[in-house]
Amino acid sequence: MALFAQEITDKIEAELARVTGLYLGKVIDYQTALSKTTPLLSALCGSAVVNSMSKSLLT
């Protein structure tokens, strides 16, 4: 019984790690995209507007 419970725990931990990794990957991709587009948006709109938008999107 203990071995069975350990197998279930291991599977749950592996699935949580996978899902967390996917989520963190998306957050990192989003931040990378935002950092690449921020200079362009700054040139178009003015840096103060873009900086406040960036900060609000990342929090």
Q: Which tens digits make up the pLDDT trace of 12-55?
A: 888 888 777 777 777 777 777 777 766 766 666 666 665 665 66
| pLDDT value, residue 57 | 62
Structure tokens at 32: 């990378």
pTM score, two decimals?
Answer: 0.41
Q: Judge whether residue 59 has pLDDT over 70.
A: no
Structure tokens at 46: 């003015």
Residue 19 lies in a domain: no
Residue 45 lies in a domain: yes
| pLDDT value, residue 34 | 72
Taking each helix axis from N to C end, the angle separating 2-45 and 47-58, rounded to the nearest 10 degrees, works out to: 170
DSSP 1-59: -HHHHHHHHHHHHHHHHHHHHHHHHHHHHHHHHHHHHHHHHHHHH-HHHHHHHHHHHH-
Residue 12 lies in a domain: no
Residue 49 lies in a domain: yes
